[in-house]
Chain A
Amino acid sequence: MSNYQKPLPVIQPHSAAFWEGTRQHKLMIQHCRDCDSNIFYPRKHCPECWSENLDWIESSGKAKVFSFSVTYEGLEPMFQQDLPIILAWVDLPEGVRMCTNLLNCDPDEIEIGMEVDVVFQQATEDITIPYFTPSSPVV
């Protein structure tokens, strides 16, 4: 695992709980106790009401594809072995959208609105990265 070559997320104090969650294969979404907003990406202050009274909820990890783009070229050499990479923006039922990759699917079979589930891949001892994969694998 220590030979992971791709860029690792630059973690901040207020996002540490998200990455602690992924290590435990949980997708944690920040939640504001004062105005009840779900927040992504994690912040020090709630972007709606500036409260610092922030908590975390666990997402079901069941999302829908809002958009996707299959990247064939133009990335730095460290991504080369992974091309093509399927970039996706997925909408979680908690009302937030995140950027990710879709794994284990044929680029030609992806559709906007498709249901996908979170999966986790360990990058290093400390970092596990969330990805998504189709809920009903195409036969």
Chain B
Amino acid sequence: MSKGLAIVGIAEVPTKRDPERTRWDILLEVCVGAVRDAGIDKNEINAVISPNPMAQPEMQNDMALGKIPDVLGLKGCRDICIANAGGTSNTNCLRLAQELIDSGQANFVLIPHTTVQSDMPPADLINFFATAPLDKQWEYPWGVSFNGSMGLITNRYMYETGASQEQMAAVTVGLRAWAAMDPMSIFYGKPLTLDDVLESRMVSTPLHARECNLLADGGGAMVVTSHEIARQMGDGRHAYKLGHGTRFTSAAPFTREDIFFRESYRASSQDALKQAGMTIDDIDLRQIYGAYPFTQCSALEGYGAVPENQGAIAWAEGRCGPGGDLPCTTMGDAIGRGHTGSGVSMAFYIDCVRQIRGEAGERQIQNCNNVIVTTSGGSGMNTCTTVFGSEPR
């Protein structure tokens, strides 16, 4: 039986805020683009599995109830589903797709993501992101927002690790340096200096405006298949999934023992690396979806790529940005890309594929063969870590 999972087709639209570009405009462009990129016929797609477009109820119904294969005429489609685990939704789409492939139900699965947030009133968006992941009884009455919640964690992170405001700001500078070279980013051509970050408005201490996320519109799609089929396609250079691990912490941040997700990064990456037969030293690129700067630091510590409490130092020394010896998150994280809702992690997987294929342009990591990708959902409820390689096992 043809097993394993490989990403063999990708497509994306530039991330921006443009209410004229509809959810379906994005969806159709990325679906057609990813199938063409894979070099297969549309009727070879056996299933469509999508991240749930949160806060967009009409699109949610369209995607959950079968419109995509209908509109695109996917005659070989046998199954459809949307997955929702916040920012880890794409990760779970990949896992569902793998189950269909491993069980012989599908050769090719299409995973599309679309989000438009620019047509929603700002107060509605704030309300959504305060009430969906946060507790309506134990957080919301006190004015907790996503930024506030992550400010609480970041403040404690700085207290325990000794990281300075400048070191933390260096994370955003590094992410924006990557993003400035990425035509898919809302901040393409717009790098920041340390002063730009530190002099931006204070949103919720210690987080400045530049250290918080701009909610944006965007989307992407992947076509996935088995290791065996992938090996026979094109030049055979694809992103092969080699290992995976997950951990759950808690929905409510104030109840967690693993405040910085560091132990979850540690455990999930150890599981994933063990399955892949690798150690963290075998990894050429780390793609970390954490949405806030402290995650770029605590993930490095949890992976064991730097000693505990030294993640921010690595960023401040320029090791994780362009030209560094420990490159991280070459698509700029959501801070550098523009946050596209629950399907946000699509961009991390797509960039993993680009890097393994050698198609990342100015951002290309030399000899990029092994990539570790970590995503998180809600306000950090879970951590999903996957190892991809350029060769199947």
Contact = CB atoms under 8 A, between A and B. Distances in A.
A10 B140 CA distance: 10
Interface string B112-130: 0000000000010011001
A26 to B, nearest CB: 17
B127 A76 contact: yes
Interface string A63-103: 00011111111111101001001011100000001111100
Interface residues of A, number: 37
Interface string B353-364: 000000000000
Q: Which of A71, A88, A100, A112 has the most CB of B within 10 A?
A: A71
Given A76-B127, A87-B204, A89-B254, A71 B145 contact: yes
Contacts of B155: 67-69, 112
A74 B159 contact: no
Contacts of B254: 89, 97-99
A89 B204 CA distance: 14
Contacts of A40: 255
A41 B147 contact: no
A17 to B, nearest CB: 13
A8 interface: yes
A98 B304 CA distance: 31
B144 interface: yes
A88 B149 CA distance: 9
A137 interface: no
Given A12-B137, A70-B205, A75 B159 contact: no
B136 A82 contact: no
Contacts of A97: 254-255
B96 interface: no
B233 interface: no
B40 interface: no
Interface string B133-174: 001111111111101110111111001000000000000000
Nearest to B124: A76
B152 A68 contact: yes
Contact of B151 (A10, A76, A87, A112): A87
B95 interface: no
A69 B254 CA distance: 13
Interface string A30-70: 00000000001100000000000000000000000011111
A129 interface: yes
A89 B123 contact: no
Contacts of B153: 67
Contacts of B159: 67, 112
Interface in A87-139: 87-89, 97-101, 107, 112, 129, 131
B65 interface: no
A10 B126 CA distance: 19
A52 B151 CA distance: 35
B72 interface: no
A98 B203 contact: no
Contacts of B138: 9, 41, 98-99
A85 B142 contact: yes
A119 B234 CA distance: 67
Given A70-B204, A73-B203, A74-B203, A8 B145 contact: no
A37 B204 CA distance: 33
Given A69-B204, A73-B201, A74-B204, A87 B141 contact: no
B255 A71 contact: no
A66 B253 CA distance: 12
B152 A87 contact: yes
A91 B159 CA distance: 16
Given A68-B155, A100-B142, 18 more contacts: A7-B141, A9-B136, A12-B137, A15-B137, A41-B255, A69-B205, A70-B205, A72-B203, A72-B205, A73-B203, A74-B145, A85-B142, A87-B152, A89-B152, A89-B254, A99-B139, A99-B142, A129-B142
What are the 6 A-B residue pairs with the smallest beta carbon separation, nearest first?
A69-B151, A67-B156, A71-B204, A9-B137, A70-B205, A85-B143
24 contacts: A7-B141, A9-B140, A11-B137, A66-B156, A67-B156, A67-B159, A71-B204, A72-B202, A72-B203, A72-B204, A72-B205, A73-B203, A74-B126, A74-B145, A74-B204, A75-B145, A85-B142, A87-B144, A89-B152, A98-B254, A99-B139, A99-B252, A101-B142, A112-B156
